[in-house]
Structure 1
Amino acid sequence: MAIPCFYLPELECDGVRVDLPETESAHALQSRRLKSGARINLINGRGLTGQAEIIKTTKRLVTVQVESVTSHVRSEPGLTIAVAMPKGDRQKVMVDMLTQLGVTTIIPLVSRYSVTNVKEAQIKKLQRLVIEACKQSQNPWFTEIAHPSSIAAVLDQAAAAYYANQGGDSISEYKNIEGPVTVLIGPEGGFSESEVDEFEKNEIASISVGQHILRTETAAIALASVFMSNDDG
């Protein structure tokens, strides 16, 4: 049985006693029903993991003794997924899986055929989903949920960029790319002609993950799984 993992933003060094945040304490007490003496893992979302023991519980708080802390280098290449966000549960599934894969940043992409507009309150909910996904996968690095951006703004900030297109080059041709990468993924209606023209004007290559038309979240997860496997050699 896997040791449960909890988010401790203050995690910095070993040999200290600290209270888990109230939301994390509630999870430990009510959902996991943990008691004094239980061993847990910790993450801070910025590359640190820890091992700890619960030494005290109250109705609302869990106090732990941090026994060891380990620093982790972020997986390379850094990957940004700029995606026209799908609706509802499909959006949640996508963010959860991209976080587990280790994607650096998710940018809600503003496209002509976008089906949903991401608001500030929604970004906060997605950030909480990132925390839960990292706890489940014990990924020490949080995925950043950026504010919505236009295609032009994304391309302006990207070191190297590609856009998803059914008729594009095979994704296998880009398995060994080095350095940070940004992949732009449109809605299921695809990118508009003017948006494709913008990619071509900026000499942005198109890539494909197969012969079938994929749902937005499927394309994002498939592309991320290929790019994030580059550090395995």
Structure 2
Amino acid sequence: MAATVFYLDEIPEPGSIAVLDGPEGRHAATVRRIRVGEPITLSDGKGLLAESEVVAAQKDRLELKVSARVLSAPPAPRVTVVQALPKSDRSELAVELMTEAGADAIVPWQASRCIANWEGKAAKAVDKWRAAARTAARQSRRAYIPDVADLHRTGGILELVRRAKETGAIVAALHESETARFTELPFTQAPEIILIIGPEGGLADSELAAFSEAGADTVLLGPTVLRTSTAAAVALGALGAVTPRW
């Protein structure tokens, strides 16, 4: 893979010319100052990778000749992170870290103890998370950009948990007061994993009870208490070591 990855919705067949414009083209041509002759890996963000070479460069646009394409298999098991909204100054950092650590899907959650409140601005905030996920995926050269869902309330998360459990998924709600350990869960047997990350104030007792009733395992991630913005990345790193994802 070339040292640089950029995203393009439609990647043409080998031998064809791909045009990288818009925000991606502007970043490539103006910010990164990529020039004619440089190799670039293109991705559609859905697993398709293409090797290409720049054949023409303008201020905010590159033309690239595609030489080869390959479909990258998604990591398994699939991991969805249900992320309680962090404080505004750490919100996008949480998305960046979990994207770089390998999250396949991200669900923003308005938990009861969240200091942040997206009331009246959810659409704009979700757009920022999607942009952060795309940028972090490019930085970490991912073939897949994580799906970022619309804002969920607790009722929607419970429905997500119930549906996932019906298909054999493991749902782990992380809580610092639990004694059962995260690494003791049978992750290698699961087709999907859902991680529930509470807010800075922790999961409320009512939320813990509701998640347990819906089939989630409430577990301790490790010996230290982590910020909500970093917990998902740490959990994903642990999963990489105990599942075939790495």
Fold-level match, TM-score > 0.5? yes
Q: Does the C-alpha gap of structure 1 residues 85 and 51 become closer, same or farther in structure 2, counting only changes over 3 Å? A: same
Match of residue 173 from structure 2: 163
State how far apart, in whole Å, the 1-side matches of 2:201 and 2:74 are.
34
Per-residue deviation, 1:232:
4.9
RMSD: 1.8
Match of residue 207 from structure 1: 219
- Equivalent position SS for 2:81: strand
Alignment of 1:154-193 (within 5 A): 154-158=157-161, 159=164, 160=169, 161-168=171-178, 169-174=180-185, 175-193=187-205
- Structure 1 runs not aligned, ≥5 long: none
Bigger drift between 120-129 and 174-183 goes to 174-183
Match of residue 19 from structure 2: 19
How many residue pairs were aligned? 232
Match of residue 231 from structure 1: 244
Match of residue 107 from structure 2: 107
State how far apart, in whole Å, the 2-side matches of 1:232 and 1:144 are.
18
Alignment of 1:43-62 (within 5 A): 43-62=43-62
Q: TM-score, normalised by structure 1?
A: 0.91
Match of residue 146 from structure 1: 149
State how far apart, in whole Å, the 2-side matches of 1:127 and 1:202 are.
28
State how far apart, in whole Å, the 1-side matches of 2:197 and 2:145 are.
21
Q: Does the C-alpha gap of structure 1 residues 67 and 202 become closer, same or farther in structure 2, counting only changes over 3 Å? A: same
Per-residue deviation, 1:199:
2.3
Per-residue deviation, 1:45:
0.3
Task: Tell me which amino acid in the other structure corresponds to 1:16.
Answer: S
Task: Tell me which amino acid in the other structure corresponds to 1:170.
Answer: R
Q: Does the C-alpha gap of structure 1 residues 33 and 86 become closer, same or farther in structure 2, counting only changes over 3 Å? A: same
Deviations 1:186-212, CA, capped at 9 Å, x for gaps: 112112222122123234221111233
State how far apart, in whole Å, the 2-side matches of 1:184 and 1:60 are.
40
Per-residue deviation, 1:227:
2.4
**1:16/1:65 contact within 8 Å kept:** yes
Per-residue deviation, 1:183:
1.6
**1:84/1:108 contact within 8 Å kept:** yes
Match of residue 85 from structure 2: 85
**2:174/2:218 contact within 8 Å kept:** yes
Q: TM-score, normalised by structure 2?
A: 0.87
- Structure 2 runs not aligned, ≥5 long: none
Identical-residue share of aligned pairs (%) = 25
- Equivalent position SS for 1:113: coil
State how far apart, in whole Å, the 2-side matches of 1:122 and 1:207 are.
29
Structure 1 consecutive aligned stretches of length 4 or more whose deviation exceeds 6 Å: none
The answer to whether residue 11 in structure 2 is matched with residue 8 in structure 1 is no
**1:106/1:143 contact within 8 Å kept:** yes
Deviations 1:172-194, CA, capped at 9 Å, x for gaps: 10253421111211112112222
Per-residue deviation, 1:155:
2.8
